[in-house]
Amino acid sequence: MNVVLPSTANWMSICYGNGKFVAVDSDNNVAAYSTDGIAWTQITMPIGAAWTSVCYGNDKFVAVSGDSNVAAYSTDGINWTQTTMPVNEKWYSVCYGNGKFVAVVNNSNIAAYSTDGITWTQTTLPTDASWASVCYGMDKFVAVDSGSNVAAYSTDGIAWTQIVPPTEGSWMSVCYGNGKFVAVDVLNGIAIYSTDGITWTQITMPIKAVWASVCYGNGKFVTIAHESNIAAYSTDGINWTQTTLPASKEWYSVCYGDGKFVAVALNSDIAAYSTDGITWLNTITTRELQNAAGEDISEDVKEAIGAATETDVTQALTDAKAYTDAHSANKSNPHGVTAEQIGAAQLNHVPYINDNSDLNTYLKTGTFACGANDSAKTLKNVPTTQAFVLTVGTTTGGDAGGIVDSALYAYIYQKIVDLGANVYYRYIHKNDGNLSFGQWRRLTTTDDISYGTADLTAGSSALETGKLYFVYE
């Protein structure tokens, strides 16, 4: 069943607690709540931030942001108070368990914990990675990575131990239920499960899709796929059955509460819910109508259409929805909005690459995904026509912050792993004050690459054994 959120936004995360569903947006200072997962009310967050994740525990909702040291908490999901994380980083996922909130950073080894959701303490993960999701179950916190095929666990949310999943994967989401941890992959159409959070087993999903989020509730695991109408469910986390969402959207987060699974999407005002995780039915709900002055004119409209039949009204709503859906799907920028107007420089935290993008503009360290083959074919300066995951990093391990001539590193690199498991690399550096983009090189292994730290020139003999160097004239 489709439900309408208060506004079109990048609804990046949803959770349930204290009788409410709460969803947060990654591009504005808005959030939304619902007592039933159907009727939603918009609220304003205390500050504009890229809100990336929200969870509930210890009588509080807690949200973290992906572009700052800003966090927020609320006891009712409506009134929020700003607080501060230990460092300014891409805080990407937060969860609650065993008396602690735990948050992880994308593209770093930084994590943090809090006993009250207000005061946070920094801690360290075992390695730099694109940590995408963290959950709690079986007396453990478990975190997974979307770029380097690593995971980690902790019994206290402070000291972490690294583990390696059984197969190469871009693990975007992890959850716990029914005695198992389950993590889903955004690239290869696979998943993994574990009965202890330490030893994992690979499984094959019913279809290769960009599995973006997984949750557990009412005896089922449910996962949703990005940029599609695909979902899947499982009673044991091992054997999965494909099902269908009500519309093809950029589905990004799903949770369970109040007898319902509820999913939200990026770049949309549409949510979806299901009472069983299998059947997702279509309907249209109405919102309060306002004039240009912001005044409620719902009753005026009702009086004006008094003679209209229910069929007339339903058809009008259907036509209006079809128009807005078509307009939303139009990626040609019909209104001529500029990058400066929408603050495009702040959108790199969003891991999905828009159609018609130029990979030469992806210079900020992080992990980004192109979720469909059709989207890949629209991109510039890309070596593949298949869906892929892009990792941008530095040769010295420092965060370049998108400044190519930073003294922290010799040059930055871009790594692509596509649906065919093809791996491509290229380097980017400054040449006479201008950006110089190396050619894409295809590698024959998906093994992680170790980089030399010296800024070498052609003909140099000071190479470190076992290191990969991008050498330029």
Structure confidence by residue, pLDDT tens digits, 131-183: 999 999 999 999 999 987 899 999 999 999 999 999 988 999 999 999 999 99
Three-state DSSP class for 404?
A: coil
Res 309 pLDDT > 80: no
Please say if the pLDDT value at position 226 is more than 60: yes
- Give me the pLDDT at residue 371, please: 76
pLDDT greater than 60 at residue 110: yes
Query: Against a cut of 0.85, is the pTM above it?
Result: no
Query: Coil, helix or strand for 222?
Result: strand
**Residue 410: per-residue pLDDT:** 53
| Average pLDDT across the chain, whole number | 80
C-alpha distances in Å from residue 35, one per residue of 22, 257, 284, 458: 9, 10, 18, 64
Query: Where residue 4 falls among pLDDT bands split at 50, 70, 90?
Result: confident
Domain ranges of the chain: 2-274, 357-473
Determine which of 3-7, 262-266, 382-386 has the lowest per-residue pLDDT on average: 3-7
What is the per-residue pLDDT for 408? 45
Quick one: average pLDDT of 443-460? 46
pLDDT at 407 over 50: no
- pLDDT tops 60 at residue 386: yes
Tell me which range, 42-51, 95-104, 282-291, 338-347, is most confidently predicted by mean pLDDT: 95-104
Which pLDDT score, from 0 to 100, does residue 315 have?
A: 52
- Burial call 176-194: b when 16+ CB within 10 Å, e when fewer: bbeebbbbbbbbbbbbbbb
Mean pLDDT check: name the lowest of 209-213, 289-293, 422-426. 289-293
Class for the domain spanning 2-274: mainly beta
